Amino acid sequence: MKNVVLPAPFGPMIETIERRWASLAIVIVVVFVVVAIAAGLHQATMPQSRVETVDPRTLHLGGEFIESNLGSAVEPDGSVTVRAIGQQYSFTPQCILVPTDTPITFRVTSADVVHGFIITGTAINLMLVPGYISSIPARFSTQGERHMPCHEFCGMGHEGMWGRIKIIDKAAFAQMAANAKRLSCVQ
């Protein structure tokens, strides 16, 4: 096969075009890296878009986290709001009761130090920071019982700090909710 020799002006011209494309490819990669770094730094340093605060010293005196308001509440739209408190070294309520196939919102806070709120076998995982309300949406498709161990070291009694969550049939829950304003499975 004969070597293809391009006429004099084309060789350098193609080289220039290739160089330009190569430079462009490098620029694109650099732009992606810069965007990734900027987005990461922004996310790590900016506060959450929505922060709800609560005074941990007066939780028991009134407001959303007063003891009589803790547990599961059925909202007018049929969804369920679960309110709970973590304190050294227990959760209130100790046993949370929720229905299956229902949109649920957990609203949890701490009365003293930082605690962890996790429901085993699910992606529900919150940090309870005194002064702030931690909130997460959830939905359970299967009935059963799960554990909620505190997963932030909170003092000498940390290992003993855990609760339970009982997921029951939607209809059974509705029946119980008809007779009580707030539900839990604490005996």
Contacts to ligand CUA by CB under 6 A: 86, 115, 150, 152-154, 158, 161
Residue nearer to ligand CUA on the CB measure, 149 or 170: 149
Cα 176 → chain centroid: 28
Residue nearer to ligand CUA on the CB measure, 150 or 168: 150
Q: What is the rounded CA–CA span in Å between residue 115 and residue 113?
A: 6
Angle at 61 between CA 131 and CA 119, to 5 degrees: 50
- What are the strands of the beta sheet with 144-149, ordered from one edge? 95-99, 162-168, 144-149
Find the shortest distance in angstroms from Cβ 154 to ligand CUA.
3
Residue nearer to ligand CUA on the CB measure, 84 or 161: 161
Q: Provide the b/e sequence for 113-131 (b: ≥16 CB within 10 Å).
A: bebbbbbeeeebebbbbbe
CB 136 within 8 A of CB 105: yes
CB 51 within 8 A of CB 33: no
Find the shortest distance in angstroms from Cβ 87 to ligand CUA.
8
Find the shortest distance in angstroms from Cβ 92 to ligand CUA.
12
Q: How many residues does the chain have?
A: 187
Find the shortest distance in angstroms from Cβ 148 to ligand CUA.
11
Find the shortest distance in angstroms from Cβ 59 to ligand CUA.
16
Residue nearer to ligand CUA on the CB measure, 126 or 154: 154
Residue nearer to ligand CUA on the CB measure, 117 or 173: 117
